[in-house]
Structure 1
Amino acid sequence: MTALMQAVQIDQYGGPDVLQIRQLPIPAPAEGEVVVKVMAAGVGPWDAWIRAGKSVLPQPLPLTPGSDIAGVVVEVGRGVNEFAVGDEIFGVTNRRFTNGYAQYARARVDMIAAKPSSMTFKEAASMPVIAVTAWQMLHEFANMKAGQRVLVLGGAGNVGGYAVQLADLGGAEVVATASDAQADHVRDLGATEIIERGMHRVEPYIASFDAVIDTVGGSALEQSYSLVRPGGVVVSAVQKPDSAQLPEQVRSDFLLVQVGTRILQELVRLTAGGQLKARLGDVLPLADARRAHQFIDSSKHQPGKILLIP
């Protein structure tokens, strides 16, 4: 008799109401994969894009959304030497960013890492995509160096909060945009100055940053172009910067995150040392996946990462 699990599935693209709780077979690992008993799964905007049919990757239906997971390995596939049954891990399921909203999930071994005992499963599941996005924007796209000045657009957001922390840990002088209500929190993360998020008074910052790390897009991104020094960089995780509007000698990039073991291990090192802190938002049972997506679509939820507990 086939063993079953609870999972969230969609048969068609649409709003949160297309999310259905189903009984599905527990998956078996392919080569280079493990099966994980999921203890916590993260919910992010990319999950809502996939659900709505707006993913940049092909997403055949039916599908189970979800990519960020933390849990315990229960089975290993052929060729897997990095992990064994009983290991606690965290990371991302696969390159399509699917199959995470379930009691059990397959995960590629090159997209997960060992979870340290100092991190809870909830903390671990909250980190992978957003923290790796911040890391790659700073270290792989902007090539940030100690002593540089970095502007983070959206310093109170999930990706922005990690960007502020990681830039500060990397020795940069960090300025971030935030509302008045969020300003103290963003300073606690490592920002030395706060620009009001409407960016109404940015004249003193003209050509004063080596890098702009954008997590909000829109008018804030456009207003940031003049704030970059010659030789600097604008990196966005939201939209492609308009190179025609950028000053001369300023390069730009649009990030498509690539979660891998190496960066996850760097995050583990910083987290285990108490230098990098996760921020948890609403924690809901798996059966409340629709509610979690309503929160994502409306932005009316607690600050921090939304989690589902199978």
Structure 2
Amino acid sequence: MREVLVRVAASGVAPWDALIRQGKSKVSPQPPLTLGSDFAGVVEAVGPGVSHFNSGDEVYGVTNPQFVGANAEYAIASASMIAPKPLRLSSLEAASLPVVAVTAWQMLFEHARPEVGQTVLILGAAGNVGAFAVQFAANAGFHVVAVVGTNDVEYARSLGATDVIDYRTSDFADVVRSVDVVIDTVGGDTRERAVTVLKPGGILVTVVSTDFVPARSDI
């Protein structure tokens, strides 16, 4: 594996860290280990076969496919899982991006694959993955319906949502119908109700469960 040694400037803490710590991750080694996957920092050294990074480069990304090792002064990262840090972002900002942004991107463009003009309903649109999904979807030309709490209505609009539903005052299942895609970051009963608003042939992508089976056979 082509790797680089990075002096860590910032690293993230995420829900999956708790699963890894508890030994419940399907991709990570069993504890003891060093937690942390998302990070930003400066390349200290490059390993054999690495030609697109040099010592002194500012980078950000994920350490490795096991999602461990970033919460340290130095981390070894797979060269294929990092990128140059955007100049406009601080290290703290950059370290908050990788897994959640990639998750939102994959849900939309690798799994759901909506077309321009289609309606995308995003559940939990003010959360970390949901907020990225709103921005990606709006930028791609989709009709974005964001479901958020009262305090996040204006925030969702600022991200580019076409329509915003406050779940504290309205049930989205009473407001929208025949949506093309549902992006679910909430799960439970909320996801079950989302199934009812999908058009025939619609697509629901969830990040909450790997064993969800919808009650409809036409989606």
TM-score by length of 1: 0.68
Aligned counterpart for 1:159 among listed residues 126, 129, 136: 129
Distance (Å, rounded) in 1 between the aligned partners of 2:148 and 2:86: 32
Aligned counterpart for 2:218 among listed residues 225, 249, 254: 249
Q: Which residue of 2 aligns with 1:308?
A: none
Give matches, 1:14-53, under 5 Å. Answer: 31-53=1-23
Aligned counterpart for 1:216 among listed residues 172, 186, 208: 186
- Counterpart AA for 2:137: A
Query: Hey, which bits of structure 1, 4+ residues long, moved more than 4 A?
Result: none
The alpha carbon displacement at 1:167 in A equals 0.4
CA-to-aligned-CA distance 1:228-277 (integer Å, 9 cap, x gap)? 1112100011113633413x331xxxxxxxxxxxxxxxxxxxxxxxxxxx
RMSD: 1.5
Partner SS state of residue 150, structure 2: coil
- Counterpart AA for 1:111: M
- Structure 1 gaps, min length 5: 1-30, 251-310
- Counterpart AA for 1:41: S
Give matches, 1:127-166, under 5 Å. Answer: 127-166=97-136
Distance (Å, rounded) in 1 between the aligned partners of 2:206 and 2:87: 33
Distance (Å, rounded) in 1 between the aligned partners of 2:125 and 2:28: 31
Change in Cα spacing, 1:79 to 1:149, as seen in structure 2 (3 Å) is same
- Counterpart AA for 2:173: V
Q: Which residue of 2 aligns with 1:203?
A: 174
CA-to-aligned-CA distance 1:180-207 (integer Å, 9 cap, x gap)? 111111111111222233663522323x
1:117 is aligned to 2:117: no
Distance (Å, rounded) in 1 between the aligned partners of 2:212 and 2:92: 37
Change in Cα spacing, 1:223 to 1:84, as seen in structure 2 (3 Å) is same
Contact 1:234 1:241 in 2 (8 A): no
Contact 2:20 2:30 in 1 (8 A): no
Number of positions where the alignment pairs a residue of Structure 1 with one of Structure 2: 218
1:231 is aligned to 2:201: yes
CA-to-aligned-CA distance 1:136-191 (integer Å, 9 cap, x gap)? 10000001221010000001100000001110001001001111111111111111
Partner SS state of residue 177, structure 1: strand
Contact 1:221 1:241 in 2 (8 A): no
CA-to-aligned-CA distance 1:23-81 (integer Å, 9 cap, x gap)? xxxxxxxx400000001101111111111222122422210000001100001111111
Percent of residue pairs identical = 48
Q: Quick one: higher RCO (CA 8 Å, sep 6+), 1 or 2?
A: 1
Contact 1:214 1:237 in 2 (8 A): yes
Distance (Å, rounded) in 2 between the aligned partners of 1:141 and 1:110: 22
TM-score by length of 2: 0.94
Change in Cα spacing, 1:166 to 1:101, as seen in structure 2 (3 Å) is same
Change in Cα spacing, 1:163 to 1:152, as seen in structure 2 (3 Å) is same
Farther-moved stretch of structure 1 (115-124 vs 49-58): 49-58
